[in-house]
Amino acid sequence: MNQSDQFSSKSDTHRRDAKDAKGVFCASAVNHSAGFHFRCKLLPPLIATYLSLWIIISFICFLPLSSFAEPVLTIDADRQFEFAEHYFRAGEYYKAIGEYERFIHFFPENVRVEEAMYKIGLSYFNGEKFQEALKAFNVLLAKFPSTDFETETQFRISECFVRLKENLKAIGYLNDIADTAEYKEISDEAYYRRGWIYLEMDRWEEAEESFDLISPKNRDNYRLKTLSQEMSKKKALKTKSPTGAGMLAIIPGAGHLYCGRYKDATVTFILNSAMIYAAYEAFDEGHDVLGGIITFFELGFYSGNIYSAINCAHKYNKGVKNRFLDYLRDNSRVRLGLQSNQTKKPALMLSYQLTF
């Protein structure tokens, strides 16, 4: 066999080996006179595995880190404030408080921080959390003593005291507002609010004195002439005398009858009459101990009858007063508020409640 045949036989053998082999192979070319013949050799499987891992790791390492990062949410002052306003307008005050606080935290130098702090207090107020509202309003005044919301905040604080049934504190705060007010509109509103608090406290003379302090130019705005005429009707109110009710109660049930408590009058009369008769019969039959016990309990019922009659007279008068106050509110009270503007000059806003 010549050399050419040997090369041909070896080439056929290598081609069969390459066909049967499964895996990764490399080729090396040897230049012979008869042409190009390729020699193939199978790579070990372990090397192929390491090569694949190296390719994958290199691909991961050279990828930009930004391709794995989550998208970043960016907020600005306008969007954050409007989001808080959205909750406030929707009446979801506690959510609004959280968003206003977030606005203050992220944008502490924004010009609307004062408004956000005021809205926090107002949200607490509208949510009937009056103690928290007081704290929020006081924080605003402490941080921004000359805030554009100073007047509104001061009146809101006085309203918080009224809602908390601390009328004397509310009156004291309104006195301070009136004494330090720069504009007549502010002091007049303080006098007007104070007058209504006095009415709620059944201190009618002091209420009239407070209304009289309102300046002449604003008296028509508060419809004081109409209010005075309505207040004069109080003298015609039919009330019950607590002293008279107590005196009538000497006859069991008569005091309740005077106050219009007919059912209570009947029960009181029957109970006391029965106890008095039982005590009389016991003594008449010679049962002194039993008569003494019945008399002891009857004295309690009898004195309770007098106390209850006096209390009924007070409750009757309170009901009459409350109904009259409701009548005044519905017919002559002015709903008003002060809103600040850029010049810090208050704009008086009035609305009237009239019935026909």
pLDDT tens digits for range 104-140: 999 999 999 999 999 999 999 999 999 999 999 999 9
Q: Rounded to whole angstroms, how far apart are CA atoms 134 and 166? A: 13
pLDDT value at position 175? 95
Greatest mean pLDDT range, 69-83, 303-317, 338-352: 303-317
pLDDT value at position 274? 93
Residue 193: which of 216, 161, 232, 146 has the closest Cα? 161
User: Among 201-210, 226-235, 271-280, whose mean pLDDT is lowest?
Assistant: 226-235
Q: What's the chain's average pLDDT?
A: 81
Contacts of 301 (CB under 8 A, 6+ apart): 271, 272, 275
Q: Rounded to whole angstroms, how far apart are CA atoms 106 and 127? A: 25
Q: Contact, 171 vs 196, CB < 8 A?
A: no
pLDDT value at position 240? 92
Cα atoms in the Cβ-side hemisphere of radius 13 Å centred on 348: 15
What's the mean pLDDT in 280-293?
90
Q: Rounded to whole angstroms, how far apart are CA atoms 135 and 124? A: 10
What's the mean pLDDT in 160-180?
95
Task: Using CA atoms of 119, 124, 125, 129 in order, give the dihedral in degrees to the nearest 10.
Answer: -170
User: Among 95-109, 138-152, 331-345, whose mean pLDDT is lowest?
Assistant: 331-345
Q: Contact, 136 vs 117, CB < 8 A?
A: yes
Q: Read out DSSP for 58-86?
A: HHHHTS-GGGTSPPPP---HHHHHHHHHH
Percent of the chain with pLDDT over 90: 56
For residue 191, is pLDDT > 60? yes
Contacts of 26 (CB under 8 A, 6+ apart): 40, 41, 43
> Is the pLDDT higher at 320 or at 333?
320
> Is the pLDDT higher at 251 or at 55?
251
pLDDT value at position 101? 96
**pLDDT tens readout for residues 200-211:** 898 999 999 999
pTM: 0.66
Q: Calculate the alpha carbon distances from 1 to 4, 6, 7, 9, 351 in Å.
A: 8, 7, 10, 10, 125
Show the CA angle centred on residue 212, arms to residues 211 and 214, nearest 5°: 75
Q: Which residue has the tokens 């007549």?
A: 184
Angle between helices 224-231 and 288-332 (to 10 degrees): 160
Q: Cα–chain-centroid distance for residue 354?
A: 30
Amino acid in position 109: E
Residue 329: which of 349, 353, 303, 310 has the closest Cα? 353
Q: Rounded to whole angstroms, how far apart are CA atoms 248 and 268? A: 13
